[in-house]
Structure 1
Amino acid sequence: MAQNLSIVVVEEDRERALVIVDALREAGDYEIHVLGSRTGLARQIKALSPDVVLIDIENPSRDMLEELAIASDPMERAVAMFVDRSDEGLSDTAIEAGVSTYVVDGLQPQRLKPILDAAIARFRMFQRMRTELAETKKALEERKLIDRAKGMVMKARGVDEDEAYAILRKAAMDQGKRLADIAAALVTAAGLLS
């Protein structure tokens, strides 16, 4: 995220929005946008493309909570939600919807900066975990493809596993491609021929 953070504040009450904006200005040099209506929220947030969405609501329902979280696109940015009251299970719902930080007992200006920092840190941590998980899944799928291609080479050429791997690796090097790409092409071609 950029050094000069862009923050969207979702607050329908003008007076509360001004308190939040003042607290943010005291806390740091932020680019601040206030959205006073939830109508078209997802579109507005997407257009502004902020680093953080800060939502302040008094007493959310489960549906409102999920709607706000999803509109904020928590996979793309940190989302900090401040509520005055919270029914049982709503904090779990918020976290499951991707909210980075869910604070009950309202927004207190003096606590805003550390809470935003925590939301950003948590978002970054989950972003790294999602990236690592995707890379691990991709590596596993590629490993399965390579093993399948090795089996095909072993059967077609009557060689052992090490020789089949060497044949695939040489083909990849000769063609300037990744081993996984050669394996995928072989598996696809074999599927077309059978």
Structure 2
Amino acid sequence: MRVLLVNDTEKPIGELRQALLSLGYRVLDEVAAAGALLKAVESQQPDVVIIDVDSPSRDTLEQLGVMNRQAPRPVVMFSADGDDQLIRSVVGAGVTAYVVDGLAPARLAPIIQVALARFEQQAHLRRKLDDAQQQLEDRKLIDRAKGVLMEKRGMSEAQAYAALRQQAMKQGLKLVDIARQVIPIADLLG
């Protein structure tokens, strides 16, 4: 497993690097500040990002948010700051495991495993949400196309649906693709 280390503190990160290496992780080039995080993630393609920080700055949270949108990865953050509002902000920025006051090498592997499991669960939920949103958008288009047929051709809703379905089967397309064709034509015809 490839690990990207981000050291946003004054303290050396050698102990963390050594602990990761002894656990069998491949440690990639270290990033000295969160500002270079997205570029490093895109170029080095880590499996997990570990950030060591005294207290995450607003810049760090912004960079994590950008990374989470453009190149999401599991993120483990070690910090000395246990403020409730900060923890909410950190989780909102995409951190999957936030550990306060404690970088014990013996706990490192389970913390990374929890972060990976949580990240996979979140990714699964994001995919389900995206699918549901797409289905809703498709349903709206189909309903709009049915409405066009009902208005222009005097069809009932069932007849309009049947006509769309028949055309989709005839052309070997999805129902929503036929709806996408019907709507602009109806707009063109007025």
TM-score, length basis structure 2: 0.88
Taking the TM superposition and a 5 Å limit, the aligned residue runs for 1:124-135 are 124-135=120-131
Note closer, same or farther for the CA distance 1:115–1:15 as it changes in structure 2 (3 Å cut): same
Contact kept, 8 Å, 1:13 with 1:36, in 2: the verdict is no
Decide which of 51, 68, 71 is 1:74's aligned counterpart.
68
Q: Conserved in 2, the CA contact under 8 Å of 1:52 and 1:120?
A: yes
Q: 2:100 maps to what in 1? A: 104
Alignment of 1:94-173 (within 5 A): 94-173=90-169
Residue among 18, 25, 30 paired with 1:35? 30
How far does the alpha carbon of each residue in 1:119-167 deviate from its partner, in whole angstroms, 9 at most, with x for none? 1111111111111111101101111111111122122232222221111
1:135 aligned counterpart, secondary structure = helix
Aligned with residue 178 of structure 1, among 174, 179, 186 = 174
- Counterpart contact for 1:65–1:94, Cα < 8 Å: no
Runs (5+) with no aligned partner, structure 2: none
Matched residues, number: 187
CA distance in 2 between counterparts of 1:36 and 1:142 reads 43
| Partner SS for 2:13 | helix
CA distance in 1, matches of 2:8, 2:31: 4
Answer whether contact 1:23 1:109 (CA < 8 A) is retained.
yes
- Give the 3 Å change call, closer, same or farther, for CA 144–36 of structure 1 in structure 2: closer
Q: Is the 8 A contact 2:79 2:99 kept in 1?
A: yes
In structure 2, distance between residues paired with 1:8 and 1:22: 13
Relative to structure 1, the CA distance from residue 68 to residue 20 in structure 2 (aligned partners, 3 Å threshold; closer, same or farther) is farther
CA spacing shift, 1:68–1:105, aligned 2, 3 Å: farther
Q: Secondary structure at the match of 1:85?
A: coil
Q: Report SS of the residue matched to 1:102.
A: strand
Which amino acid in the other structure matches residue 74 of structure 1? N
